[in-house]
Structure 1
Amino acid sequence: MERAIFAGGCFWCMIQPFDSLPGIQSIFSGYTGGYVENPTYEQVKAHETGHTEAVEIIFDPEKISFSDLIDIYWQQTDPTDALGQFEDRGDNYRPVIFYFNEEQRVAAENSKAELAASSRFKEPIVTAIEPAQKFYLAEDYHQDYYKKNPENFKRNHARREQFLKENW
């Protein structure tokens, strides 16, 4: 098994696209990239930790590759917005592909370059690619949020969904 960590705005919206794919063993909402140990949602939301909301995916590379996961990731985000995603604003919602090794870093950089060269977006691709740091699980009520709170999830996901329909 391998790990992938992606940040793309609210972690609630980043679980569903990966959740039922073959080769995905588990996926969790959490926080990473900051300087506070064991951050809480309230601390991250208040910009007190340097952390970004993210998802950690444990996957079987024999069934789904890191590159495949990146392709799915791009289709969930606005890669031209470094200051958050959709209605989620701030550094705690910035888009980031975190890598665990050189192979993942190269795959992420190549994929980003391909997206930029595609001219799909008029603005530059600004999604960060950074080394993975410790991942802290979010509180239980954030895990599988889209399943537990489908109506609220749908409302929170509406702007993202519209953007994705228009651009992908």
Structure 2
Amino acid sequence: MTTQKSQQATFAGGCFWCMVKPFDEQPGIQSVVSGYTGGEIENPTYEQVCTNLTGHYEAVQITFDPSIYPYAKLVETYWQLIDPTDPGGQFFDRGHSYKTAIFYHTEEQKQIAEQSKKNLIEKGIFSKPIVTEILPAKPFYQAEGYHQGYYKKNSTRYNAYFEGSGRKHFIESHWGNEK
């Protein structure tokens, strides 16, 4: 739930387990919820989304106070969590539900995201084109409880997945200690 001082941001970056921890517990972040967005059916289940037939992305929805943690900073953090050049998913997770996208909730968010993407392209960090889409927000459906805060509940499995999927190496090789 947003208050007058809070806004929402929605990001798809592959497996939502790996998208929670970098935002969670940052100043101004009120909540980070794993879920599904961008698809055509209401209240999808994890099993339905994994078929890649619903049109949903695994995503996180962040409720934040923009006076403490501005949207532009959220977007900057987001770029450092993904491979924005992969059109088929993220790391060893393949298929539509694991593709990357920024879902904007306002025209201001759209402009910030587009400018950020343009700046990232101009920096030349990646040798391949950036394919992450910037799309209007659609209904967001909270994932099942066992997916929420996964990195806290199952830290051993989370850490093994984060490293084994190739995400950790990719982030470190492109961003080093910037993150």
TM-score bracket, normalised by the shorter chain, equals over 0.9
Runs of 4+ in 1 over 4 A off after TM superposition: none
Shift of 1:151: 1.0
**Is residue 166 from structure 1 mapped to residue 173 from structure 2 by the alignment?**
yes
Residue equivalent to 2:69: 64
Residue equivalent to 2:37: 32
CA deviation profile, 1:19-72 (whole Å, cap 9, x unmatched) = 011000001000000001000000001113110000000000110111000000
d(CA) in 2 for partners of 1:133 and 1:38? 12
Amino acid in structure 2 at the alignment position of 1:162: H
Q: TM-score, normalised by structure 1?
A: 0.99
Amino acid in structure 1 at the alignment position of 2:143: A
d(CA) in 1 for partners of 2:27 and 2:15? 24
d(CA) in 1 for partners of 2:68 and 2:9? 14
SS at structure 1 position matched to 2:167: helix
User: Matched residues, percent identical?
Assistant: 54
Residue equivalent to 1:93: 98
**Which residues of 2 match residues 71-82 of structure 1 at below 5 A?**
71-82=76-87
**Is residue 16 from structure 1 mapped to residue 21 from structure 2 by the alignment?**
yes
Q: TM-score, normalised by structure 2?
A: 0.93
Aligned residues: 168
RMSD: 0.6
Unaligned 5+ runs, structure 1: none
Unaligned 5+ runs, structure 2: 1-5
d(CA) in 2 for partners of 1:17 and 1:69? 10
